[in-house]
Amino acid sequence: MKTIGKVTFLFLCLLALVSSSYGKVLNSRIDVVGTENGFDVVVEREVVINSPAGKEVLGDLKVVYWKARESVDVLEAWTETPSGKVVKVGEEEINDVIYGPYTDAAGVYGEVRMLVVSFPSVEIGAKLHYKYVHHFSSPSTYTVVLSDKIPQERLKVCFKGKKGALKVTWLNASPKYDGEGCVVLTPPVIEDETEAPPTYFVYPVLQVSDFSFSPGSTKAPPPGEEVRSLAKRFSAPAEAVTWIEKHVHTVKWEFFRQDFRFSSPDEVLRRGFGSPADVAYLVYSVLKCMGKDVSLAVGYHPLRFPDDYPVESDGSVWNVFALRCGDDWFLLREGRTQYPYSYGPPFKGYDLEGRRVEVSFKTDSLVAEIKGGRGKYEYVERGTGDFDARIRGFGDLPRKDWEKFLSGAVKSVFGEGDLVRYELRNIEDPQKPAELRFTVKTDLTDEYESVEVLHVPFNSRFFGELPYLPSFERKEPMLLEPVELKYVVRMRGTGRTLYVPEPFKAEVGCVRLGMERDGRDLVYYYKVDGCLLTPEEVKKLKKELDFFKKDEHFLLLFKMRKEVFVYE
């Protein structure tokens, strides 16, 4: 009995610790109600504030909605102070404001608003109660991660009304319905760990939709005379792609049209601009008119969505376009063709005939080489995928700013040295790999009384690409995207070497890493095929990475024989 008492006490202590965070959801209920022209979601919650930070973080209720199809009405909202006094939220405390994402894709959300309910008299121990209805007009999708960063004791979800017309999908949860069409859950608290996969990989998700998405060829208007005539001007696909990129402006403020139809390619060509979807479809149409064997697929990045994520009904995730020309698939991101001859992350989606498409692109890769000399060294970087795009990104800056940008990178990423010379190759030629090379002048040696230590430069550049693994034990899995890094240290010398690091290798889950010697080159590598690592694997990987990053790998120790130590 005593032992049980102790366990209970410890358990209560643990609960107290958890509940001592921002706050806690005391009651929570979601009612999904089918209506004549869509559905309503009624959310009701009671939250208790437990800390000063909780007061700031939880003191406002914010509901984001898309004005074109949705509206939100607050049904009731009040604060119950610790003394039991009820202070109702006044009209002036409910504000409908612009929801402005801070990216230049803001235009996509042109009609997205946010309703902010500011609770009065919020203090520690106060309870905030609210109930609101979120109206959705067909076709619409409502997706919600049911977990929160604060604990919830009990969440009840009920479905009413025109249930048959609604497609309800659960992810990471298999709730049992009661006789009234309700389910009860206790969603776990979101751990909020770095490098965690999106919450919908791990925590319970509810998705309600009243339509199904399918690109379908019927939603893609056939090309007309103008597109056919344009196609006659090109002999190779690359010419067409380059021409379109130069002559048709891709705007970010027109998303994939809400009825999931493509604009007429002739119209896009005529007006000289179009959304990413429309430009992708124009590229496809022109290539098709050229007689090329092409497909266009609309899809998503599978590593960012779990396999069973109900993307078929979630139009918001359909923002990646893949183009097949012959046997090769290319990713068209935001309609830009900077990758067409390169590679990208994996892709899943549907082509215009409604066929499932799954493409495994080559992984992104980076090869960096340094060739050092006393006081200066040359660095060369070339890669595919994101690395290629990163180098090409210089093209978006005025040339006068290139040196400034690189100097900044040398300082902030590499930490030392002055940029002496730089060169960018092929950044405007999509058919050749982009390449960045530059020379840095720095002092690589630390001189002691009778010894000098030579530092391998730029190790932070390489390490900057590795995942950050803090020492705490994870509870969430960790998402690793495909990447391949190779870092070659080319040092030549005839000085007496007292120390050079030993080769090693390790493999954890989908990760392979290590160092090999190739003659007197040191070749460091890190390769990921793309996967979710379990917390146990993360722990193991951390151990390997700690060794990998150990400073002795980046110090080469020589005797003080400057006159005979010569770099090639």
**DSSP output for 439-494:** EEE---EEE-SSEEEEEPTTHHHHHHTSPP--SSPPSS-EEE--EEEEEEEE----
Edge-to-edge order in the sheet of strand 347-351: 328-332, 320-325, 294-300, 347-351, 356-359
- Cα–Cα distance for residue pair 72/114, rounded to 1 Å: 9
> At its nearest, how many Å lie between other proteins and the CB of residue 198?
19
Which tokens sit at 549? 């990053």
> At its nearest, how many Å lie between other proteins and the CB of residue 340?
17
Which tokens sit at 409? 């990178």
> At its nearest, how many Å lie between other proteins and the CB of residue 384?
22
Which tokens sit at 129? 């109660």
Query: Quick one: 363 or 442, whose CB is closer to other proteins?
Result: 442
Q: Left if phi > 0, otherwise alpha if psi is -120 to 50, otherwise beta: which for 519?
A: left
Query: Quick one: 21 or 295, whose CB is closer to other proteins?
Result: 21
Q: How far is CA 533 from CA 190, 479, 526, 530, in A?
A: 18, 6, 15, 9
> At its nearest, how many Å lie between other proteins and the CB of residue 459?
10
> At its nearest, how many Å lie between other proteins and the CB of residue 377?
14
| The total number of residues written for the chain in this structure | 568
> At its nearest, how many Å lie between other proteins and the CB of residue 415?
5
Query: Quick one: 3 or 450, whose CB is closer to other proteins?
Result: 450
> At its nearest, how many Å lie between other proteins and the CB of residue 335?
13
Query: Quick one: 140 or 442, whose CB is closer to other proteins?
Result: 442
> At its nearest, how many Å lie between other proteins and the CB of residue 162?
33
Query: Quick one: 129 or 324, whose CB is closer to other proteins?
Result: 129
Query: Quick one: 2 or 400, whose CB is closer to other proteins?
Result: 400
Query: Quick one: 151 or 383, whose CB is closer to other proteins?
Result: 151
- Cα–Cα distance for residue pair 441/159, rounded to 1 Å: 67
- Cα–Cα distance for residue pair 155/146, rounded to 1 Å: 8
> At its nearest, how many Å lie between other proteins and the CB of residue 485?
18
- Cα–Cα distance for residue pair 75/98, rounded to 1 Å: 21
Query: Quick one: 446 or 568, whose CB is closer to other proteins?
Result: 446
Contact call for residues 488 and 521 (beta carbons, < 8 A) = yes
Place of tokens 């990987």: 541
Query: Quick one: 306 or 335, whose CB is closer to other proteins?
Result: 335
Contacts made by residues 395-402, CB under 8 angstroms, sequence distance 24+: 395/427, 395/428
